[in-house]
Structure 1
Amino acid sequence: MTPLHAVPGDAPQPSRSGSLTQVRVEAPGKVNLFLSAGAPGADGYHPLTTVFQAVRLIETVTARRQAADLHGTITLTLTEPDPSVPTDATNLAVRAAALLAEATGVNDGVDLLLRKRVPVAGGMAGGSADAAATLVACNTLWGTGLSQAELVGLAAELGADVPFPLRGATAVGHGRGDRLTPLIARGTYHWVFATAAQGLSTPAVFRRFDEIAPAPAAPVDVPAALTTALRDGDTAALAACLHNDLQAAVLDLRPQLTEVIELAESAGALRAIVSGAGPTIAALAPDPAVAVRVANALNASDLVAGALRADAPVAGARMVG
């Protein structure tokens, strides 16, 4: 990759770090309000039309200047160790830092401290939020000066879900979900997320999706009723429009999630659906009091690992402190 701010053939740029010793950035998880998938193309990827909404389940990345003996390396530490989250070069946050360094010709390393709040492998793009936060944090710590548009371009190289946490709020995604157009969303939406003890592989879900029934060549467009509901801040109307093409595949792989959906709705949720590629179930409540009741009912059952409440929409990746 040619550095974004270098002429081809130039030597790698020296450190451009300023006086900052650390930068802390928050980025949100997401829920898919609508997801339509077409048949896979020659590259094996399914074209998507999806509506993302950023929720107040926040991943925090602190990018810290390294000790002299570690200069030039990228390390990652979790504030709460989790064996299901790798801390080596396969972690999306580490890959984000490495990509930014390569793209800008920076030879500095960084020590990343990661606090996770989005369920792991739950269809809510927690890893993508980590990558988005890392791009913003390292861009500031290293003084590379990339614009948000340039960061979005790098984010798309890391994965289809990574551009959205950079922007946040509510947006429709096309292509692999990475081509974003903002949507107007008035009001506040109250969500309850029922988490599972074991995650689901997104490729496995798409394989099952392909096996269940042939998909149309192209995904369907976002219904006008959904965009109108968002524009009007009408939670009940939005609930009626929630849709996920992958839900049948997820429920086929995890039939017990049907009971989670039924319990959430019987406790007062307007609607409950699979979030993204699952296995998290997203339940939309009409108000905070009902959201508490739904979360309590789910937590009192033996059907879920836990239930988290979060409002939406919220802003994308931003520096804090």
Structure 2
Amino acid sequence: MSDHRPAVTARAPAKVNLLLQVGPVRDDGFHDLVTVFQAVSVHEDVTATPAADWGLTVEAAGGADVSGVPLDGSNLALRAARLLAERAGVDEPVHLHVRKEVPVAGGMAGGSADAAAALVACDALWQLRTGLDGLATLGAELGSDVPFGLHGRTAVGTGRGEQLVPVLTRGSFHWVFVLDPAGLSTPRVFAECDRRRGPGWGPPPADVRLEAVEAALRGGDAEALAAALSNDLAEAACALAPQLTRTLAAGRAAGALAAVVSGSGPTVALLTASAASAQDVVAELVPVVGQGRLRTASGPVPGARVLEALAPGGQ
């Protein structure tokens, strides 16, 4: 590889689940899901730089704790880059630098956003022009949330969550995220959900939850969306992390329209009426949880995209 090829930085968003319906366990160990993802303005930036060998470094941004992020070949961003290279027949290692803003193990798909950004950055660096659908197919092999990190905006996810259909969304929705210093294992939360349901549990009849969420999004109606938010994993997450019950209650008391566990938790998502309302909620919550655990964001935002190409040695 030429040493003069520039580095490429790509950005991918975190997600919040506006709806998360969890079906029974499948034969492959996954659960059938019906979920509505919204991409929000909390981001991961991944810079891919030509290198003599594969490598990875991680930088914390916005107070994120990156101590639990693997730096070896198990890292999802590095796995994404190597998978793309393998499938495209590229023998040009890269060094990835991940700037993490999304909480680790927080239910906001930060690792999946890293993988999505790595795919886009490496695709541009190697000038492969794979296309969004091709990258999303690779992403689905890496994790259920990676395709959404590539597509972004708002979408219904089915299957494991990797089969996406865009949802018409008017306007922006404003969020406050309450981070938890302790992460939650997604497999543990799903296992606890299954345990609570018991062996005789069967999926309920098709309900109107999805229709209510989609109608609220089409209308750009934050109050209607607040009434429609739901997460089948919330009870299990709260059982494993009891402090979440207090956080949800504190968010509602602070003036949020609704409070919901984000994905498998433990991040709590608070929907607010406006950007100004989000700031008011933060002000109310600072004495309760501390400034460092609060993030404001809006959605929907685009999926993974190239930010810039840097000349060698550029910053």
- What's the TM-score, normalizing by structure 2? 0.91
8 A Cα contact 2:59 2:66, kept in partner: no
Structure 1, unaligned runs of 5 or more = 1-14
Output the amino acid matched with 1:49: V
Q: CA deviation at 1:297?
A: 2.5
RMSD over equivalenced CA pairs, Å? 1.8
Alignment-derived partner of residue 13 in structure 2:
28
Structure 1 residues 102-157: Cα deviation after superposition (integer angstroms, max 9, x where no partner): 11111110011110011111000000000000000001111222111110100000
- Is 1:174 the equivalent of 2:158? yes
- Is 1:283 the equivalent of 2:263? no
1:261 is aligned, of 248, 258, 262, to 248
Alignment-derived partner of residue 12 in structure 1:
none
Alignment-derived partner of residue 9 in structure 1:
none
8 A Cα contact 1:131 1:162, kept in partner: yes
Mapped to 1, the partners of 2:98 and 2:29 lie a distance apart of: 32
Q: CA deviation at 1:259?
A: 1.0
Identity among equivalent positions (%) equals 49
Alignment-derived partner of residue 312 in structure 2:
none
Mapped to 2, the partners of 1:46 and 1:269 lie a distance apart of: 31
8 A Cα contact 1:49 1:219, kept in partner: no
- Is 1:60 the equivalent of 2:40? no
Secondary structure, aligned partner of 2:10: strand
8 A Cα contact 2:107 2:262, kept in partner: yes
Alignment-derived partner of residue 76 in structure 1:
56
Alignment-derived partner of residue 214 in structure 2:
227
Output the amino acid matched with 1:274: V
Output the amino acid matched with 2:247: V
Structure 2, unaligned runs of 5 or more = 309-315
Matched residue pairs, number? 301
Mapped to 2, the partners of 1:220 and 1:260 lie a distance apart of: 30
Alignment-derived partner of residue 35 in structure 2:
50
Secondary structure, aligned partner of 1:96: helix
Q: CA deviation at 1:18?
A: 9.8
Mapped to 2, the partners of 1:304 and 1:176 lie a distance apart of: 35
Alignment-derived partner of residue 11 in structure 1:
none
Cα distance change of structure 1 residues 300 and 280 upon mapping to structure 2, 3 Å threshold: same
Alignment-derived partner of residue 4 in structure 1:
none
Residues 1-321 of structure 1 aligned to structure 2 (within 5 Å): 20-66=5-51, 70=52, 73-80=53-60, 82-214=66-198, 215-217=201-203, 220=206, 222-302=209-289, 306-321=293-308
Secondary structure, aligned partner of 2:297: strand
- What's the TM-score, normalizing by structure 1? 0.90
8 A Cα contact 1:191 1:285, kept in partner: yes
